[in-house]
Amino acid sequence: MQFWTFLFLVLSFGLYIYIAWRSRVKETKEFYVASQGVPTVANGMAVAADWMSAASFIGMAGMITFMGSDGAVYLMGWTGGFVLLALLLAPYLRKWGKFTVPEFVGDRYSDSVRVIAAISAIVVSFTYVVGQMTGGGVVFARFLGLSAEWAVVVAAAVIFFYAVLGGMKGITYTQVAQYIVLIIAYAIPAVAVSQQIGGFPIPQVTYGTILSELDALRTEFGLHEFTEAFAGRDGGQLDVFLVTASLMLGTAGLPHVIIRFYTTKTVRGARFSAFWALFFISLLYLTAPAVGAFTNLNLLRGAQGSTADELPSWIDPWADAGYVTLNAEDGLIDTVSNDAASGADLIVSNDILVLASPEIGGLPAPIIGLMAAGGMAAALSTAAGLLLVISSAASHDIYYRMISKEQATEKTQMLVGRLAMTGAVIVAIFAGLNPPAFVAQVVAFAFGLAASTFFPILILGIFWKKANAKGAAAGMLTGLVFSAGYMIYTLEIFGTGANDHILGISPEGIGAIGALVNFTVTIIVSNLTRPPSHEVQEMVESIRYPSQQTTKV
């Protein structure tokens, strides 16, 4: 198996690095927005790869495996948010015609709000990239036999190389290749396991035929039924609603997703990019529930009536890598969980279930190796986009716009951007070695921060002419502090102990409330202070008609 994994990883990494080298850039417009010349279909595919991170590829179906139907919050939230982005933000921001989200915020409100937006972009993107480092570490630790520490370092080095070299132009075409790799890697095992379990090669059809058996097995092992509504989250229906809303608003406000729409040739291209992105995303998202259910069924079938010595062979290497724990060495496996604190006989991390699904299903080694390459493609594609946001926020929005606009040359801006990437990678390595939660949950925290900072001021900035700088600054800061404070309060990070969720609201769902707080504060403060200038209000009016000629940079 290691041979096939190594082969697929070397071939795919070689392709990514070759594309990055061929697309290397020297100008800031190429580095940040690929000279705004990316074809619509290619951009849609790149958006899909950028968005379908390790959380989508590795984490989402893993969460569905244990959460059951409540895992659909990730599907509904992420997909619904993309509809909001396509309808309410992407064409208008593309018409504005600049490089970054903080640049729009600065032009619309003020330079001080630009700095707040740039810092928020760095915080959101850094939180997100930690999840990608963790996902990359899972792949390398298991399939190449590396320690967790070296696995994360190797993944970070590859990400850094082609992100720094090619900028947005290189990342775009690399992401097209990565999408092709990840969707093939996801689809082939899903089809094979579907055929194996139900005798039919369409996962979505087989999925409906196994739910009764899966519900019965889960009950036997102390888990709630897979189809039981609002049982997979401790906060019940309220938390399911808030997490879905947080993911929707966060998706529409994520800087690394929005910036992709700056790369199209026209405003019309931005709209159609969103269409193509949703199409490419749906190919994976409509398969994820089936993958989660298949993996859960095979996992429980393998554990049913087994002792620790009789468990399937796939468990041992994952246990050696630290992602599976056995607590019933001399007895039967009666309980299964994903929670290390549960004391269950068999504890399996959510983060391995998709990557391990071919092994759990007994598929041949080449398919296992292909799945590893797909997992790395997902982690690398998103991490590169996130690092570019961090780079542009530091070099373009802070250094160029606020510190040294007169003296900043193209070469100096590129250097500052690449240094910012370097610093982000180094810090993310340490955070990736000690993540506060599973991959999908860590990514959900980033979405919550984006929902509580960017979404409200972007919407108000486009559709409400009276939103002003003081209101936007107060709203962003309040939303950021509120959501980040709650996450720190409920998670074991920065040396703090985890506290109980207030009203059952998880840290993944707090972003929806943070967004409401941001909206409220921005509107109140804007109404109590002087409105924007007449020129700004005229600019706001002009971008409401995306079909008009695009603003030039």
> What is the per-residue pLDDT across 346-403, written as a single tens digit (0 to 9) for each?
888 888 888 888 888 888 888 888 888 888 777 776 777 777 778 777 877 787 777 7
Q: Would residue 494 count as lying in a domain?
A: no
Q: Would residue 474 count as lying in a domain?
A: no
Look up the CATH number of the domain holding residue 389: 1.20.1730.10
Domain interval for residue 426? 2-295+362-435
Furthest-apart CA atoms within the chain: distance in Å: 77
Q: Would residue 417 count as lying in a domain?
A: yes
- Number of separate domains in the chain: 1
- pLDDT per position as a tens digit, 70-116: 888 888 888 888 888 888 888 888 777 666 788 889 889 998 999 99
| Residues 544, 90 contacting (CB under 8 angstroms) | no
Q: Would residue 552 count as lying in a domain?
A: no
H/E/C letters for each residue in 300-352? HHHHCCCEHHHCCCCHHHHHHCCCEEECCCCCECCCEECCCCCCCCEEECHHH
Task: Indicate if the pLDDT at residue 161 is higher than 90.
Answer: no
- Which residues, at least 6 apart from 380, have a Cβ–Cβ distance to it below 8 Å? 16, 132, 136, 155, 158, 159, 178
State the pTM of this model: 0.82
Q: Would residue 191 count as lying in a domain?
A: yes
Smallest Cα–Cα separation from 425: which of 17, 45, 152?
A: 152
Instruction: Report d(CA 441, CA 74) in Å as an integer.
Output: 10
pLDDT of residue 551: 44
Instruction: Report d(CA 357, CA 224) in Å as an integer.
Output: 21
Instruction: Report d(CA 315, CA 321) in Å as an integer.
Output: 10
Cα of 164 vs its chain's centroid, Å: 20
Task: Indicate if the pLDDT at residue 310 is higher than 90.
Answer: no
Give the whole-number percent of the chain exceeding pLDDT 90: 23
| Residues 185, 56 contacting (CB under 8 angstroms) | no
- Mean pLDDT highest for which of 9-13, 152-156, 219-223, 290-294? 290-294
